[in-house]
Structure 1
Amino acid sequence: MAEIPNFSLVRASSQRDYSAMNRHFSDWLQQDDPDNWTVGIHDFPLYSIIDPNGLFMGVLNGEIVVIICAVNYNSDYSFIGAFWANPKYRGKGMGTHLWNAGLKHCGFRTIGLYAAPGMVARYERDGFRQCGQSGLCEIRTDNILANRRSISENIVDYNNTGHIPFEDVAQFCRKYSPADRRDFLKAWIAQAGCMTLLYVKNHIIKGLGVLRRGCESGRYLLGPLYAGSKDIAVEIMADFVLRISHPSVIYFGVLKDNPDVEQFVKDAKGRFHEEVATVMYRGQNIPHFDVNGVFAVTCGDIGG
């Protein structure tokens, strides 16, 4: 395709690059809709743990104007997300350059993504097919959540206890994840400023939730929230709310293939946003995991 004067494609390769992508993505989201969504403070540096070569920036006259994450989990599976541009520079072809670079980086792997409503047809032209739906949800902590007033005796704060081996956590999460991502998981659940809660009964992990701070004050992101039942998911969510000392908003993404997810959101006094994303894949080896236990995806930018 035609070259764009003073535009270059750059592969992010340092913590400075990852942090710059994080900052720009947050700014662009706020420009699009300041009351809708946010990004975690440490998201992009942590994405690089999965694939340090899979984060790309489009730079125009020295300014980052478009970004994409195309992370390769292994030799079989990739995920594309965080495909976003500065609102001032959309429609000028720069995103297409990054999209093509992301596809090239993924190679012949099966690729997953979550498509916004206006992008489904575009991705279908590149061989992606529809495989489900993902919804965005929010909970306001000043609402009464499931009539809870005290923290459950089955809830364990993972980062403030030393008696639960990480290997047990990784094994629990694996059946709800599209790929084995232990190194990423280890960093994700211990990131600065996050809370990681486990639901443990009879010394067996039956639920896990991670709540991280968003870039905007008073906003949090939940993900993942894995649980053996809807009731366990509600208990974990309720405990998160009890541990937040000021009125806040918690955002999270869900997979609508989970038959209990709508009741979970209702029980947790949450609400669905109107926009629904389409889960799409290209390739033959679509990952299989227990969607019935996924009550919040880790992050829509990296899937599952």
Structure 2
Amino acid sequence: MSTVSASEVTIRQNKKEDITFLLQFVEEEGWDWSMYDHLSHTRLDPNYLLVAEDKSGEPVGFCAVTKSAPDTVYVSSFIVRKDLRRSGIGRALWKAMVQRAGNQNIALDAVKGMVDWYKKNGLQFQTFRTFYHIFTITDDMKKSYASNYETIALSEEMWPALLAYDQYVYPNFDRTAILRAWFSGEDVHVAVAMDAGKIVGYGSIHKKPNNEYGLRNVFGDNEDVIQALLHDMVSGLQKGAVVHFFLLDEKRLPTYIKHSVKYEEAPVRMYSKVRIETNTARMWIATAHLI
């Protein structure tokens, strides 16, 4: 691969074919990000992805800037091709992102090595931290599970109650558009936990390539609810399937998935202007892809 400097790149809006390069870049990093996330971001904000291209028009870096609310953008998939890092391309993408964000609040999830850099570049506020984990489906996880809670698939008529429950976690932030974007498509399953007809938790899982899956936002009243939701979402998966998720740092690993977990980095949620407050009492498995 040839050397490319920041002065030789152009920042532009993404094209359909660019996603192939982004998927390649994130796969090399081992990130829990797939076509599902791209399509979800696109449903929420069709113009979310900025691309740094070289003189030949080939993408060499990306920065996702998703408009999540009237006054907030969420930054993700901030990445430069491995052999071109520390060449100024990332800074050029950051500058373009800041220009697009304007006066809006900027939110992102920062890995440990980038926290100080983000602070120096205007993200002064922090909330929760999550740890990235993976586990593998075993025969024991596929057995029946006795629970006090009923778990069912999310239906259209359940949306008002689900959104009301979500406001316990995000009391000052309406996530209707965000959840609608992520809970759509053929490759996602949303499970809702019920107790006497009342929602007490929810979570989603989506299919990725190569017999892998990703959990997104698993919230519940207590650990027993989380156990029931996890059993609903993963017990039907093939033995050997790999599941990715981000566990809130103050929560212990649910017993149901504790046997085969490996964990890595701990992203920190950061903001530029104001924290979006979260009630972490019901938050267990969060995500580094959506507010």
Please state which band the TM-score falls in when normalised by the shorter chain: 0.7 to 0.9
State TM-score, norm by structure 1: 0.83
* Distance in 1 (alpha carbons) for counterparts of 2:100 and 2:248: 26
* Distance in 2 (alpha carbons) for counterparts of 1:166 and 1:131: 27
* Distance in 1 (alpha carbons) for counterparts of 2:34 and 2:90: 23
Q: SS of the residue aligned with 1:291?
A: coil
Give runs of aligned pairs for residues 153-232 of structure 1, distance below 5 A.
Answer: 154-158=150-154, 164-177=157-170, 179-214=173-208, 216-232=209-225
* Distance in 2 (alpha carbons) for counterparts of 1:295 and 1:25: 29
Q: 1:94 aligns to what?
A: 89
Q: SS of the residue aligned with 1:127?
A: coil
Quick one: structure 1 residues 3 and 119, their matched pair in 2 at CA, closer, same or farther if it must change by over 3 Å? Answer: closer
Q: SS of the residue aligned with 1:292?
A: coil
Report if the CA contact (8 A) 1:40-1:213 is conserved: no
Q: Which has the larger displacement, 72-81 or 57-66?
A: 72-81
Q: 2:41 aligns to what?
A: 47
Q: 1:292 aligns to what?
A: 281
Report if the CA contact (8 A) 1:157-1:196 is conserved: yes
Q: SS of the residue aligned with 2:281?
A: helix
Give runs of aligned pairs for residues 27-176 of structure 1, distance below 5 A.
Answer: 27-33=24-30, 37-60=31-54, 61-129=56-124, 130-142=126-138, 144-145=140-141, 148-150=143-145, 154-158=150-154, 164-176=157-169
Q: SS of the residue aligned with 2:41?
A: helix
Q: Given the alignment, which residue of 224, 249, 252 partners 1:262?
A: 252
- 1:143 deviates by 6.2
- 1:271 deviates by 2.6
Q: SS of the residue aligned with 2:179?
A: helix
Gaps of 5+ in 2: none
Q: Which has the larger displacement, 269-278 or 94-103?
A: 269-278
* Distance in 1 (alpha carbons) for counterparts of 2:222 and 2:257: 14
Equivalenced residue count is 282
* Distance in 2 (alpha carbons) for counterparts of 1:282 and 1:184: 20
Q: Given the alignment, which residue of 15, 22, 27 partners 1:25?
A: 22
Cα RMSD, aligned residues only: 2.5
Amino acid at match of 2:212: R
Q: Which has the larger displacement, 165-174 or 78-87?
A: 165-174
Gaps of 5+ in 1: none
State TM-score, norm by structure 2: 0.86
- 1:151 deviates by 7.3
Amino acid at match of 2:45: D
Q: 2:233 aligns to what?
A: 240
Confirm whether residue 276 of structure 1 aligns to residue 266 of structure 2: yes
- Give the 4+ runs in structure 1 shifted more than 6 A: none
